[in-house]
A = this chain, B = another copy of it.
Amino acid sequence: MTNAQVTLIQIDNYGPWTVTPEPRREVDLQTLQSRLYADLSQLVGNRDGYVFFTRFDNMIAVTNGMDEADHAMIQESVGNRYPVTVSFGVGADPSPVAALSTATDHIQDAGSAQAADRTEILGGATLDPDERTDDDVQIAHFDVNDATGKYTDRMNAFDSFIHIEQGYAELMQYFRRAHEGLAFFVGGDNVIAVCPDLDRAAYEDTIQHVEETVNVELKVGVGRAATAQPAGMAAKHALEDCRENGDRVVFEE
């Protein structure tokens, strides 16, 4: 059984801040957003978690193994180093979608993403140590078969991106609807998903659906562990096995 602990990270009142008193220079916003994401990656990654940039103003993290004090410390560190603050909502559930819904509720119940007086919310409960197991996190790492040969080295860079993006858009929607997994584009031709306790058939089905619908061929490695970092590393090794053996789905055993 999986039991993903998911944290929603939301920049407080970010939209209004970006245009007050005048629109701020885009280059500064882009720098701020990508560095905040990099810092959160490190802060969460140092505790064996994963953060996905998603919309940048709303990021989604897998935080099994992190307790409330860890969350509070990261929130404080962001407040000490950025002109903006962040709110955290936390949820845990065998279904990552259900976990994220709980996490989102905790933030939404405290006020709007654009309410100036709703700052540094830390809502929801982290898993107790004795609730945790070695299979709580299932991570799947997808990539596109021969993306370099088919797209990057052949088409203009935007049309390559359209293909990658199209594959991702179909994957994210289908995988969420059919299998309750949360799939995130992480750069290049890579997508990493946090999953419920899925079997091989679910991944076969997903890959087949994406190929039939938008003609993008995927493969996937799957790993499981108590936290995201070792589960994700197992998934990477499984994906390397796919590459070497021509398999479409490999579970790291």
Interface residues in chain A, defined as those with a beta carbon under 8 Å from any beta carbon in chain B: 8, 10, 14-15, 18-19, 23-35, 37-39, 41-47, 50-51, 53-58, 60, 76-77, 79-83, 97, 100-101, 103-104, 108, 112-114, 148, 152-162, 164-166, 169, 172-173, 176, 182, 186-189, 192, 229, 232-233, 236-237, 239-240
Contact = CB atoms under 8 A, between A and B. Distances in A.
B112 A153 contact: yes
B161 A54 contact: yes
A15 B30 CA distance: 24
A80 B24 contact: yes
Contacts of A169: 165-166, 169
B158 A97 contact: yes
A97 B112 CA distance: 39
Contact of A50 (B26, B28, B164, B236): B26
A97 B161 CA distance: 13
B38 A161 contact: no
Chain A facing B: main interface SS = helix
B41 A53 contact: no
A15 B152 CA distance: 12
Which of A28, A155, A186 is the most central at the interface, judged by chain B CB atoms within 10 Å of its CB? A28
A43 B56 CA distance: 21
A244 B53 CA distance: 30
A19 B236 contact: yes
Contacts of A165: 169, 172
Given A80-B32, A82-B82, A112-B153, A41 B60 contact: no
B100 A156 contact: yes
Contacts of A14: 188
A147 to B, nearest CB: 8
A237 B187 contact: no
A34 B57 CA distance: 14
Given A34-B41, A187-B33, A28 B80 contact: yes
B58 A161 contact: yes
Given A160-B58, A164-B55, A154 B108 contact: yes
